[in-house]
Amino acid sequence: MRLKLVSHASFIIECGDLTIWTDPWLRGKAFNDSWSLLPPAEFNPECLDRIDYLWISHEHPDHFHIPTLKSLPEAFKQQVTVLFQENNSDKVFDALRKFGFTKFRSLPHRKLVALSDQTEVYCSQIGNMDSCLGVRHGGQTVLNLNDCEANTTDCVTLRKDLGPIDVVLNQFSIAGYSGEEDRAKHLTANSQSILSNIAENHRDLQAKVTIPMASFIYFSSEDNRYINDYANKPQDVVDKMASEGLPSVVLYCGDSYEVGLPHDSGPALDRFRALYATMDQLPIDRSPIVELTTIQQSFNSKRTHLRKFYPGLVLRWLNPVVVRIPDLDKTVEFSLKDGWLREISAETAPDVTIHSQPLDFVFRWPFGLQTLGVSARFTLHKNGKNWRMHRIICSLDSAELYLKPHLLLSRRNLSWAISRLPGAWNQLRYKMSRMRPKAA
């Protein structure tokens, strides 16, 4: 097999008898205009005629990048078959139909699916919405872990299902922030934890080579640029892996790797060093100001939506939140439980600080609060437990896991939930263990 890095999480996987393109993102920004590609995508449109399958890992906009998907030629949209994880919703395929795509195939959880006589694919859902892709051809296996926060139990399962792993593609840097005020402490720990996870995944999978991917971006808004100071670089992955005696390969956008053959990462690393030396010259955007009346309207729509899909007993878990909006020089308090948002004294200590445009985005879209965390455009000062409860409810809403009984207990939801229960329980325990304070 041959792997070519296009951008960020986008690879072209050539299997000899067919070609798969993953998570296309060719231009523009993502996550409420908060992320930009670094380096830019390297893509030759002439290769579109050779692509048979398009795999979308999950709905986050750096993977399901709507401007890129819309911009692809109509002939390609008619020709290619889109692969996506089988879950409890058709919204991804429904959206792609509106963009002009016509061929779709759902990939069941943890099942090998033959795409041809020589090539099989495998999709496993890990976490709330993420999924990984295994590709087997000619006695070789590539595993695209992408954004999946796979732990040892997950990796044991993947290896049991797939057998020996030749190449692991894995995310290598910070992809959001939970907002703590002590940024240096938490972000340094986050970046180091990601590097440790890459090495652990490699060992647990008994992989032959790890290739870093899905982090070729920079945070490009005025209120999240601070993240760039803590981001891992490809050289950090190489150094970490080498320190533990583990092999890695680094690709620059446009580079290819022949699975199983020696590869010199030196030229790619040199290009990355030159690129990162220009970080202070990269464009940083200032978000537009959104007036409080508009934010109020978006809040009202959010409140109405949640009342439609979630019982009052669940919404009672959500206590009021005090928000400082620095670009409006205002402080507001809102309650999704009781249905009000009001301006209060600027002397009131805030729970969170958020600029007006990302705050409006939180209320405007089901995925707004998730986007806020991934874009890292807020600071959490206090009442973290209440904030996390808001994140949980909004995450369920984004995944269309509605908790009113007649919606929750549908046949499709129950079937999907039962199939995911063992993995979901494992992931829940893993995330809770990571949230517990560590001993000094």
- pLDDT score of 413: 61
- pLDDT bin (cut points 50, 70, 90) of residue 425 is very low
The predicted model gives 378-398 an average pLDDT of 95
pLDDT of amino acid 432 = 45
Token representation of residue 399: 């995944």
**Each residue's pLDDT tens digit, 65-105:** 999 999 999 999 999 999 999 987 889 999 999 999 999 99
Mean pLDDT for the chain overall: 93
Alpha-carbon span 182 to 191, nearest angstrom: 14
Instruction: Round to whole Å and give the CA distance between 142 and 224.
Output: 34
What distance separates the 2 farthest-apart alpha carbons in the chain? 68
Q: Name which of 65-79, 117-131, 267-281, 321-335 the model is least confident about.
A: 117-131
Residue 437 has pLDDT above 60, yes or no: no
**SS3 state at 10:** strand
Residue 399 has what pLDDT? Answer: 83
Neighbours of 359 (CB within 10 A): 27
Using CB atoms within 10 A of its CB, is residue 209 exposed (0-12), middle (13-18) or buried (19+)? Answer: buried
Q: Which two structure tokens, joined as six digits, stand for 64?
A: 């399901």
pLDDT in tens, 284-315: 999 899 999 999 999 999 999 999 999 999 99
What is the reported pLDDT for 430?
43
Closest CA to 257 of 8, 89, 11, 26: 11
Assess whether pLDDT exceeds 70 at residue 40.
Answer: yes
The SS3 call for residue 333 is strand
DSSP letter (8 states) at residue 221: B
For residue range 140-170, list pLDDT tens digits in order: 999 999 999 999 999 999 999 999 999 999 9
Three-state DSSP at 288 gives: coil
Sign of CA dihedral 71, 218, 129, 205: positive
Do the strands 352-354 and 321-325 form a parallel or antiparallel pair, or are they unpaired? parallel
Q: Which of 129, 61, 59 is nearest to 92 (CA)?
A: 59
d(CA 65, CA 85): 16
**Whole-angstrom distance, CA of residue 170 vs CA of residue 55:** 16
Mean pLDDT across 355-377: 97
What residues does 210 pair with on adjacent strands? 168, 248
pLDDT for position 251: 98
Q: Mean pLDDT over residues 1-29, rounded?
A: 98
d(CA 19, CA 13): 6
Q: For the residues 54-65, what does the mean pLDDT come to?
A: 96
Q: Tell me how long the chain is.
A: 440
pLDDT at 423: 52
